[in-house]
Structures are given as C-alpha cells and as structure tokens.
Structure 1
Amino acid sequence: MVLAALPIELVEPTPFQRNLSETHVRKLEAVIGKIGRFLDPIIAVRTPKPDHAAKYWTPNGNHRLSAMRTLGAKSIVAIVVPEPSAAYQILALNTEKAHNLREKALEVIHMYKELAQLDAATEDNYALEFEEPAFITLGLCYEERPRFSGGAYHPVLKRVEEFLKKPLHIAMSIRQQRAKSVLALDDLIVEQVEALKAKGLASPYLKSFVVARVNPIRFRPKDAPPLSFDEALDRMSQATAKFNPDKIKMDDLAKSGGVSDDSE
C-alpha cells in the first residue's frame, strides 16, 4: 500500500455503491472548509477497466470525494491498495456513514452482478464482501420494488438463507426465483394490511405486525431442525392466507414492536 495524492478527476466511486447523502456531503464540505485541510484519506484501487476515464475506484470515500470536488480540490489523498478485490469489500470498509438495510442490499446485489462476470467463484467465496446471504435476495427485491419493506422480512430471511455453493452466474437464477417468492408473499401480506386499514387500524408497523404473525420461526423450538428457505416461505404464504384481520384489535398492535414499514 502507498499513500498518494491522486488527481481528483482520475478517481471515482465504485459503480455499485449506494447513492450519495447530500446532507452528509454538505456536512463534510463545511468541516473540511472550516479546518482548511483534508485529514481522512480515502481507500483507492486501480479500476479493472483500463479503457475507463477514471483510473482509480474508491470503495469507501464517495462522500469525501464529492465534498472535495465541490470545494474545488485538484487532488485527493488516498491509500492506494494493490489488490483489486478491495473494491468489492465495500461493506467492511465503509466507515463514513452507516448503511441502512436497503443500501446494504442494493450494494450487495450490484457487487454480485459485477463479480458474476469475473470468474466462477461461488457465493461463499465472497462471504466477507456480501456479509449476509439474505442481502442478495433482498437486493433483488429492492431492485424490483424500490419501496419494498425489506426490514419486515429480514429477520426471517436471515435465519433461513445461506450462501449457495454455486458459481454466481448460476446461483443468480436461484436468487431471482427466491426474490419472486418473497415479492409474491409481500403481495399477500399487503392484502392483509389493507384489510386491517379498512377496519380502521392505523400503525406504521402494520406490515411488520402481519409478517411477525405468520413467521414460522418465531416460536419454533430451538431443538427443531432448521427450515429451508422454501419451507419457510411456503408456511408463511399458507399462514397469510389463513390470517383473519377481524380477530386483530388495536391492543394487539400496541403490544407489538418491530420495524416501521417506512423506516428504510
């Protein structure tokens, strides 16, 4: 590794990063401008695309890079890492601003698609980069439905998903089918949520409440064999079809916690 001042026009964020937070960028601009110095080097690797205008990617410095550009900087201090694989370790490296679930899942699926073109490595080979297998499936769901309430399903998927021991380009079709299953379940859940709203029940936790009620793992004995993804989704779909909104009272909602349906 070397510490270098790179021409700022030659540095770009990795193409699979989350969107910039304008609020965070403005704060960085104010602090850097007030101090008059840039004291937090970004990480940079050489881009794997030689014909690309930018020669370096940063997996963890997009906000700082944007702030420095706005402030008119001609160069940016970076720790240049020789291993190209560092570009894909974005979740482990990113310390600028905590990711929410949507951001994590979308970054993972964007990395997944990029890596699938590089070699025949399997999902578990990239466990560090992907962090959780559930993020892969959720990322596909978010791509299909940007306002998808992934937080309601994450606790279940986290328990039943595992990294597939198949090359990424082959495993992708399995992931796409799993995402379709989750979205199909979400359609059923939404119908029950609307039925609860029609009863006059109002809460930002309605979807999380229904998902928790049909979660087959919630009260499953600890010594019971683990459910597979397909088993869990099948049971949830069946339970959702049997869910009776007429039996739900406001007190039931008040007693439940969970993730707000709009928290992401």
Structure 2
Amino acid sequence: MVKRAPAKRRPRKAKAGTRGLAPAESILEQLDGPAAEAAAVVEKSGGRLIAAYKEPFGGHPVLLAILPIEAVEPTPFQRDLSDTHHKRLADVISKTGRYLDPVIAVIAPTQGFWTPNGRHRLAALRRLGAKSITALIVVDREVAWQILALNTEKAHNLKERALEVIRIYRGLVEEDASRPESGFAYYLEESALVTLGVCYERAPRFGGGAYHSILRRLEEFSDEPLRAALKVHEKRAAMVLELEEKVAAVVSKLKERGLVSPYLRSFVVARINPLRWIKGEAPSFEEVFKTMRERATKFNVEKIKPTDLAGAAGPPDDA
C-alpha cells in the first residue's frame, strides 16, 4: 500500500518586521564556498560579476552578473516557448531601449548556466541580437526545481503547470531517483499534476480540466522513492487516458445528436463520477476509475436532453 505524505500546511502570517535581514546585514563581505565557485563559473563563461549580496529574506548568497547570452539556456522542464509572447516582449524591449528584468540563473550540470524562469526574456534578447543578459545567480542549483513555487504569481494554465511539473519530476529522477517523493511536494505543488503531466506528454490535446478535481481528491504525494512513485503516476495516467477514450466516444455521440456545449466532456465526466456521492474517505484510484470506465461504456446518450446541459459547468473541453 502506498504511504501518503502528511498534508501540506501554509505558514501563518508573521508579525511585521520580524524575519529576514536588515539592509546593512545583506552585505556579502567575501565570497566563499558555493558562491566563490559560482563566481568562477561566471568568469570562465566570459561573464562579469557586478555585485554579490545576501538576499534579505533567507540570507542566501546571490550574485548579480552580466553573462554572454550564449552561456545561458532555459531549463529543460519549464513551460514551452510562446512565439507570440517572446516576440511581443522583444518589441517592448526594443522600443524602450532597455532591459531591466534580470533572469534567475543557476550553474548548469555541464557548462554555463540554466535559467529556470527566463525562457521568454532570453528568447526575446536573442531575437534582438543581444550580446549579453543580466542574471541573478543563485548558487544553490536546487532552486531550479523550486521555480514553480517561486512563480506562483504567474498564471500558468493547467496544461503548462502539469507539463512543467512532470519535467521537473523527471529531472529529479535523473539526479537521484532514490529520494522520497514527499520531499519534493513543495516544488511539485500537487500529486495530481504529475499524473496529468504524463497524460499531456502522451496526448497533447488531452482535456485534463475535466479530471483534475477527481485526481486531486484521489492522489497525494507518497513516501515512496521517486522512481517507484513515477511508475505509479504513469500507471494512473494510462488509466485516465483509457477512460478519456470512452468519454470522447460518448461526447462524439452527443454531438451527433445535436447537443452542443463547451462543457460536454465535463458533463459526461461528472455524470459517471462516483465521488459525487461519497463523503469522507474515497475509494482507491483503481476502484474509482474502474467504475467510471464501466459507466462510460454503459452511458445512454438517448436519455440526455438539451435541458440537462443547461446547468453544465466546469472546465471547457479544450482545458
């Protein structure tokens, strides 16, 4: 039986002015350890160190550097490049004649630097032919895995979030697959996103929004090693996609009968979802999806009327 990790707790609001460093305490007098190593990589890559300081919340060393643009690459697990977004960003930078938003960078595994949050800014500057890019270098490379948590203010849609999570997950497995999954709950946000990420990898047009709430109720991070936990997510993703094939067939039949709604998939999934009537502890993932597959197979589209869809809600079918 899979052991579940303890529930994630949000920190309480702290009293003002009780945490972190004062401005004078943020001065980094001398570089040593990982900070010195990062400074050496800056020089080796042809960059220039501009300043160093302790970031005022946690006191961790940060380097401000100008790096050759060819020395920086996006991490392989962040969301895909938006052609429209990076071109629009390039236009703005070109019109203002200034670039004032440094990317976060960490030392890459092989050479140069990774930016876990600057794919679009990097692409925009490359589009403009820039020679260099300003970067805040975080000496702890593990921050690359934490970027989802650091970027919570950015409006990722479900597909972007899920793909980013599964890419982070696979990167963690490559580094050390023996670590417990629960140790990375903070980075990965939701266990359900890992399973949905696998679904989107296998079926890019998958409508995950209809299944998200179900997976959130059924899945939690476990204390199993990452390697073993990933196999569980992959097995569950296969079950979700198997169900989606049956749901898609029902949706197609409903459309043939002239029933049109942007929420058809969500409507069908809601109709076959046994969790609607279950309070308290839910059945196992396998039991729930077995029931849903059986109900989807037996779904009688002849009984569905336009009035039944009037109150349908949830994520649209392309979400």
TM-score by length of 2: 0.77
Q: Is the 8 A contact 1:46 1:57 kept in 2?
A: yes
Q: Is the 8 A contact 1:46 1:56 kept in 2?
A: yes
Which has the larger displacement, 56-65 or 226-235?
A: 226-235
Partner SS for 2:292? helix
Q: Percent identity?
A: 54
Q: How does 1:113-262 map to 2 (within 5 A)?
A: 113-119=170-176, 120-221=178-279, 224-262=280-318
Give 1:84 deviation, angstroms. Answer: 0.7
In the other structure, the counterpart of 2:72 is 11
Give 1:72 deviation, angstroms. Answer: 1.7
Q: Is the 8 A contact 1:133 1:161 kept in 2?
A: yes
Q: 1:26 to 1:72 in 2, by over 3 A?
A: same
Q: Distance in 2 between matches of 1:80 and 1:34?
A: 27
Q: Name the amino acid aligned to 1:75.
A: S
Q: Tell me which of 92, 103, 109 is aligned to 1:42.
A: 103
In the other structure, the counterpart of 1:73 is 130
Q: Distance in 1 between matches of 2:126 and 2:63?
A: 22
Q: Distance in 2 between matches of 1:176 and 1:193?
A: 25
Give 1:63 deviation, angstroms. Answer: 0.5
Q: Distance in 1 between matches of 2:159 and 2:186?
A: 18
Q: Distance in 2 between matches of 1:93 and 1:104?
A: 13
Give 1:97 deviation, angstroms. Answer: 5.1
Deviation digits for residues 130-157 of structure 1 (CA, Å, limit 9, x no counterpart):
1110111111111111111111111110
Q: 1:214 to 1:203 in 2, by over 3 A?
A: same
Which has the larger displacement, 32-41 or 6-15?
A: 32-41
Is 1:25 matched with 2:86?
yes
Q: How many residues align?
A: 257
Give 1:203 deviation, angstroms. Answer: 1.7
Give 1:193 deviation, angstroms. Answer: 1.2
Q: Name the amino acid aligned to 1:179.
A: A
Give 1:95 deviation, angstroms. Answer: 6.7
Q: Distance in 1 between matches of 2:129 and 2:252?
A: 51
Q: Tell me which of 157, 162, 169 is aligned to 1:100.
A: 157
Q: Is the 8 A contact 1:161 1:228 kept in 2?
A: no
Q: Distance in 2 between matches of 1:210 and 1:98?
A: 27
Q: Distance in 2 between matches of 1:48 and 1:142?
A: 27
TM-score by length of 1: 0.92
Q: Name the amino acid aligned to 2:133.
A: I
Give 1:96 deviation, angstroms. Answer: 8.6
Q: Name the amino acid aligned to 1:210.
A: V
Q: Which runs of 5+ in 2 are unaligned?
A: 1-61
Q: Which runs of 5+ in 1 are unaligned?
A: none
